[in-house]
């Protein structure tokens, strides 16, 4: 397998999100419920697709026999027995005190947790993955916005508002206004900038 497939799949998923955004914009001034539904779905799916492909990147790298974009074939991790699934190994080794539960997984959408999993699994391309994920700046923006869309709770909205204030947007801006704001007033929409940066991150991670 070539790790480029991870990027191609993520790009395909991002194209689906762009389709949802197009539908949302078409309804923006004529059908508010439809606008909100398509917008919410775009944010939720971007978060989920990012999570899924970070997970896939690490596990494919761990299992080996896959090729990076530069043509290097990765060996299987030397710390994970061939008879053991990487997630099961992580559940047994995430902490030194106890085994994690049968449904537990790292929060793959948080770069630090994804990198910790990659380091513990001993993937051969860890340095490349580390450099790529360490450079991504928008993962928290996606997460806080997604949580504000999904959970109408004070704590989720306080984190969202603190994040938008730090970025120079009004503290009272809604998630649905925020994602369509144009950076610098005339630049790309916020959600388009997220998609671009996350795609660049995956591309850098598979080199």
pLDDT, one tens digit per residue, over 181-196 is 999 888 999 999 999 9
Tell me: the pLDDT tens digits for 72-82? 999 999 999 99
Q: Is the pTM of this model over 0.85?
A: yes
pLDDT at 198: 98
3-class state of residue 168 by DSSP: coil
Distance in angstroms (rounded) separating the CA atoms of residues 52 and 61: 14
Q: Which among 117, 169, 114, 121 has a CA at the least distance from the CA of 141? A: 169
Paired with 67 in beta bridges are 2, 73
Q: Which among 183, 184, 163, 187 has a CA at the least distance from the CA of 175? A: 163
Paired with 66 in beta bridges are 74
> Do the Cβ atoms of 62 and 86 come closer than 8 Å?
yes
Distance in angstroms (rounded) separating the CA atoms of residues 120 and 78: 11
Distance in angstroms (rounded) separating the CA atoms of residues 197 and 148: 21
pLDDT at 149: 96
Structure tokens at 79: 């710390």
Q: Left, alpha or beta for 181 (phi > 0: left; psi -120 to 50: alpha)?
A: beta
With a cut of 50, list the residues of the chain below it in pLDDT. none
> Do the Cβ atoms of 205 and 129 come closer than 8 Å?
yes
H or E stretch at 73 = strand 73-74
Structure tokens at 64: 């080996």
> What is the maximum alpha-carbon separation in the chain?
57
């Amino acid at each position: 397998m070539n790790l480029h497939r991870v990027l191609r799949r993520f790009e395909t998923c991002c194209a689906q999100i762009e389709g949802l955004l197009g539908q949302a914009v078409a309804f923006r001034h004529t059908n508010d419920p439809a606008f909100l539904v398509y917008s919410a779905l775009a944010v939720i799916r971007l978060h989920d697709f990012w999570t899924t492909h970070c997970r896939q990147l690490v596990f494919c790298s761990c299992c080996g026999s896959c090729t990076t974009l530069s043509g290097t074939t990765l060996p299987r991790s030397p710390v994970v027995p061939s008879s053991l699934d990487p997630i099961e190994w992580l559940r047994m080794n995430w902490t030194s005190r106890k085994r994690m539960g049968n449904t537990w997984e790292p929060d793959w959408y948080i770069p630090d947790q994804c990198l910790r999993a990659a380091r513990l699994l001993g993937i051969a391309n860890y340095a490349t993955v580390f450099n790529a994920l360490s450079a991504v700046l928008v993962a928290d923006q996606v997460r806080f916005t997604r949580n504000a869309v999904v959970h109408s709770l004070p704590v989720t909205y306080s984190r969202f508002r603190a994040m938008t204030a730090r970025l120079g947007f009004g503290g009272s801006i809604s998630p649905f206004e925020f994602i369509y704001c144009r950076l610098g007033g005339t630049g790309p929409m916020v959600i388009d900038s997220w998609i671009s940066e996350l795609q660049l991150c995956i591309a850098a991670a598979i080199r």
